[in-house]
A and B are shown apart, each in its own frame.
Chain A
Amino acid sequence: MGKLVVTDECLVPRRLSWLHYRGPDPIGFMKDFKKTLRFIFEVSTTRCREKKLLWDYTGDPIRFYNEWWLHKELSRFSEMKVSFRILGYVSKGKKDGNFSLEMYGEVNHTFSPSNWFTKYVWLIYNYIFYNKLRDRYSLMCRDYINNYMNWVKEHYNLKTVVTAEDRRDSFKEEVEKEAPPVDESE
């Protein structure tokens, strides 16, 4: 019997996310790319795969194109797939240039029923319970992609969103400033 595959795109209602950068060191974020993916997406090295790397060193600027795939198992039935495509130029002399990073994420839910009965049981289970989980997994996938984008922005010191930790720190500083001095003699 065939298998049932339900695919949810993570960045709905849009399909992709793009990050374009122009400035110094456009290949800086690609160093230890696999390591970064491992830490941000919380996957093992075997789950990330470099699909394509094209590097044209002959001219000036140097042109590069890179493709990565990442798989992450979320449950027995669900798996997250994220793809990255990077296209950029870097000048040989100044070492500046630009790159475009395209990101796409999807969550696949696969079920291989052995007979028609299990197929309908799964469909009902999916309709009643698993839909909520699907929703949560999509959100999770979107969060991972956003985290990665924020990491790249932080790497280049671009304007990013203030994180909750930053807010906590600034709040702590404000409280400490406003707090009355402690009288040590008491």
Chain B
Amino acid sequence: MPVLARMKMMIEEELYPPKGTAKGSPRSILTYIGPDPGKLYPKTREFAKAVFNATDADIHEEIYDWGKGEKEKYRVRFYLLRDLDKFTYYFIRFDVKGEGTEKSGKGSVTIRPLLRTEYPQDTLWQRTIFYEMIRVFWHRLFYHNRRREYIWEGRNLLSMLQSQLRDYFKEIREEHG
């Protein structure tokens, strides 16, 4: 969860390495073509919760757009906020889209992961130069490496999530023959 403070300093880091000259922030897109694309959303959410060891309260569904009919069409955007310590959390955006029937269709899962660190700057003490000096010193000396570890751990978890999703894509195709 974000730090409760009126004023805060935020350091944001992409979990995926930068794409070089390509435009936009790095993200991974998994595309699915096959039967029953409506199953993608609940399963993505379940896998994300399991892999990142998160609860329902750590997930915020921002957009839930579902069209019913012969052909189901949906678009869901949800965020996973996983606390790592007092200052840092994973902020991962999932965009799940799908369109089709139980027999055929297509869908995609887009993941945009971020690591966020927030330092509160509310009280007088937190705004003094001495506090800032101590904070920078502590950050450089200890916390920088901790954040690097979080990034590596996050990348590992994301690759695990992606492989689980790919396996699930296969599973749905096999289920429907």
Residues of A in contact with B (beta carbons under 8 Å apart): 8, 11-14, 16-24, 98, 127, 131, 134-135, 138-139, 142-143, 146, 149, 153, 156, 158-162
Contacts and interface: CB of A to CB of B under 8 A. Distances in A.
Contacts of B46: 161-162
Contacts of A24: 68
A6 B145 CA distance: 35
A159 B2 contact: no
Given A21-B68, A135-B1, A162 B57 contact: no
A14 B66 CA distance: 21
Interface stretch (B17-25, B37-45, B150-158): B37-45
What are the 4 A-B residue pairs with the smallest beta carbon separation, nearest first? A23-B68, A22-B67, A20-B65, A19-B64
Contacts of B62: 11, 14, 16-18
A183 to B, nearest CB: 37
Contacts of B65: 18-21
Nearest to B65: A20
Nearest to A19: B64
Given A14-B62, A153-B64, A161 B69 contact: no
B45 A161 contact: yes
A23 B73 CA distance: 11
A19 B74 CA distance: 11
B63 interface: yes
Contacts of A19: 64-65
Contacts of B57: 139, 142-143, 146
A12 B56 contact: no
A127 B123 contact: yes
Interface string B28-61: 0000000000110110011000000000110011
A153 B64 CA distance: 9
Given A12-B2, A161-B45, A156 B60 contact: no
> How would you classify the secondary structure of chain A's contact residues: helix, strand, loop or mixed?
mixed
Interface of B: 1-2, 4, 38-39, 41-42, 45-46, 56-57, 60-69, 73-74, 79, 81, 91, 123
A6 to B, nearest CB: 8
A8 B5 CA distance: 9
A127 B4 CA distance: 11
Contacts of A159: 38-39, 41-42, 66, 74
Contact of A18 (B1, B63, B74, B79): B63
A167 to B, nearest CB: 10
A146 B56 contact: yes
Contact of B79 (A14, A22, A98, A149): A14
Contact of B64 (A18, A23, A135): A18
Contacts of A161: 42, 45-46, 56
